[in-house]
Structure 1
Amino acid sequence: MNTFFEQNIILEDEFVQLRPLLETDVAHLLSISENEPETWKYSQIKADGKENLIHYIKLALHAKQLQTQFPFIVFDKKQQKYAGSTRFYDIQFHNQTLQLGYTWYGKDFRGTGLNKHCKFLLLQFAFEILNMERVEFRADNNNERSIAAMKSIGCTVEGVLRSNMPTGEGTSRRDSIVLSILREEWLGTVKENLKQKLQTK
């Protein structure tokens, strides 16, 4: 087994801490799960309600066992509360690529700068520790808030995959927008630009 998936990876700054997601984290995320169903409007896998949250975390940890994903729980140090979750997925060490997504936060943590801090830590780890050449992001092409957030951290839009997959409800299909950051872009301008934005929050 690749030892990366066994590591207790902690990513943190003065604003946020990301640590590996655990089964017991159901308790930390339950309030958002039960009271903020709109959080998963565009999600493929819903975590609304305790039963769905348990299922969501189990799926994430199973994918980690399969060495394709590494899920984190997000802790907001300013509010001293757990804010949500995010993860690396479709991890391909042989191609030096991964995707960053499955990101969601409770409503009290949106628009606070938390996401930019998380993304800075995750991108820095991906490019400078894991030595990735490309980090990819995808979203429902109708999810304007998510797309705006990805553009604001320095992602480049590559295009739209038409009728890419079923929606979370399974009643229709969605178009998926694809964005990315390359290693040379991160080391060139994206890292410094994002760091400057962190200092304004």
Structure 2
Amino acid sequence: MEFDFSKDYILEDDRVLLRPLKKEDAEFLVPFAEQEPDIWKFSTMPVAGSENMKKYIDLTLRARIDKKEYPFIVFDKKENAYAGSTRFYDIQTANQTLQLGYTWYGKKFQRSGLNRHCKLLLLTFAFEKINMERVEFRADVLNEKSVNAMKNIGCTVEGVLRNSMPKMPEGRRDTIVLSILKNEWFDHVKETLRKKIDYMS
């Protein structure tokens, strides 16, 4: 199946629903920007605060129109509440690669097992529906929580891009690069991730 930026992809299981982000979703995400400033410690752009969150949403929606990114809002069925956001970006259909990131959740939803459900849905879609050969992940090398979460779902560390981009509120960051390949997904990553989800259930 060819990836179609104009199509509204819905990904869900018994725990989580991922649907395309909309402008109107600001009402669900603004409270995180206003009330949980620690979430944005490693952000590469200002997100804390109502207006910053609205700009953040506008920018990613524009990127979808420009066929650069495809953002989702995350709904936690267990809590019956919106939990955060994630997206595909740097989508290269000719090379059969994409990046998965800009993932964040409110504190209530962190370490709850939600992220594993999201990643299972997103990776299944990437490798089994739109035929990607490689999914890449990036993070601030100092963001241990995020890096450990990526390693925990089966990502392989490829290296560090030194001084690669600006970070908030000032300075530059070293970016760690991780990935999962299609053969790794089918060989062991998918099954390992499923077992970890079952263990958390």
TM-score interval (norm. to shorter):
over 0.9
CA distance in structure 2 between the aligned counterparts of 1:117 and 1:26, rounded to whole angstroms: 23
Runs of 4+ in 1 over 3 A off after TM superposition: none
Aligned-pair identity (%): 58
Pairing 1:78–2:72 present: no
Shift of the 132–49 alpha-carbon distance from structure 1 to 2, 3 Å rule, reads: same
The equivalent residue for 1:22 is 22
Corresponding position of 1:149: 149
* Map of 1:198 onto structure 2: 197
Task: Give the distance between the partners of 2:109 and 2:195, measured in 1 at CA.
Answer: 20
Q: Tell me the CA shift for residue 168 of structure 1.
A: 2.3
Query: TM-score, normalising length from structure 1?
Result: 0.97
- Tell me the secondary structure at the aligned position of residue 173 of structure 2: strand
* 3-state SS in 1 of match to 2:78: coil
Amino acid of the structure 2 residue aligned with 1:129: K
3-state SS in 1 of match to 2:5 = helix
Give me the CA root mean square deviation.
1.0
Query: Separation in 2 of the partners of 1:78 and 1:184?
Result: 32
Q: Which residue of structure 1 lines up, in the alignment, with residue 185 of structure 2?
A: 186
**What is the aligned length?**
199
Is this contact kept in 1: 2:45–2:167, CA < 8 A? no
Partner of 2:43: 43
Distance 1:114 1:55 in 2: 26
How far apart are residue 167 of structure 1 and its match? 1.0
C-alpha separation in 2, matches of 1:119 and 1:188: 17
- Name structure 1 gaps, 5 residues minimum: none
Match of 1:158 in 2: 158
Deviation per residue, 1:27-49 (Å, 9 max, x gap): 01121111001101101123211
* Pairs within 5 Å for 1:8-157: 8-157=8-157
Structure 2 portions without partners, runs of 5+: none
**Aligned partner of 2:55: which letter?**
H
Contact map agreement 2:30 2:54 (CA 8 A) in 1: no
1:112 maps to a residue whose letter is S
